[in-house]
Amino acid sequence: MRQRFLVVLAAPPFAFAFAFGFAFSVGCGSEPPPAPVAPVAPAATEKPVVAAPPAASSAPKRPVNVSDEIRRLCSLPEPKDAPRFDFDTSDVVGDDRTTLQALAKCMTDGPLKGRSVRLVGRADPRGEQEYNMALGAKRSSNVKQYMTSLGIGDARLLQTSRGELDAKGTDEDTWRLDRRVDIELAK
């Protein structure tokens, strides 16, 4: 027994590290995956639950919500309904193009000449927070891109996203109110 002890001590130092690493990896290996469980058929009285598609709204859906201050300074008309996006979209639509064109004119040679605006993208609370932040950013980016195409300098359009952080909706009608881009005067 004494000879084995001496032989082990005489082994090179990396042998101890190798032996320890091997023993650790074998001893601390993960457990085998659980055996698959056969699916259980639902009872005859149970009905499958199917998510209802989003309700269609008769209200206009426009993606841009201009602040009251900008609306007043630029003499923009009051919207009948705040501009909104459809679920999981980021496209600027017809009615909002008209509003953005009037805003661009006001920023070019009206009361907002030389002023900057903040574009705040928003989303409803469905989906992961990271996804909703990205969707809000995409919405504000599309509005910024459209405004830039109308001649507004990139530096005057400050873009940000709040995603779902300020969402208040609890159903399709109120979630629709959360999907928007707010346009505010930059301070």
CATH, residue 113: 3.30.1330.60
What's the rounded Cα separation, in Å, for the pair 179 and 63?
7
> Is 85 a member of any domain?
yes
Place 35 in a pLDDT band, splitting at 50, 70 and 90: low
Give the integer Cα–Cα distance in Å for 109 and 143: 20
Cβ pair 51, 165 in contact under 8 A: no
Asked if the structure places residue 18 within a domain, the reply is no
Owning domain of residue 131: 64-185
Q: Which tokens is 58 given?
A: 């008769």
- pLDDT single digits (tens) 78-135: 665 445 688 888 888 877 888 899 999 999 999 999 999 999 999 999 999 999 999 9
CA distance 15 to 9: 10
Q: Is the pTM of this model over 0.85?
A: no
The answer to whether position 140 is within a domain reads yes
Out of 1-15, 35-49, 51-65, 89-103, the most confident range is 89-103
Strand 181-185 with 64-66, pairing: parallel
Residue 156 confidence (pLDDT):
98
C-alpha 117/C-alpha 96 separation (Å) is 16
Residues contacting 135, CB < 8 A, separation 6+: 88, 90, 121, 123, 127, 161, 163
- Whether residue 127 lies inside any domain: the answer is yes
Number of domains in the chain: 1
Residue 34 has pLDDT above 60, yes or no: no
- Tell me whether residue 115 is in a domain: yes
Q: pLDDT tens, 120-130? A: 999 999 999 99
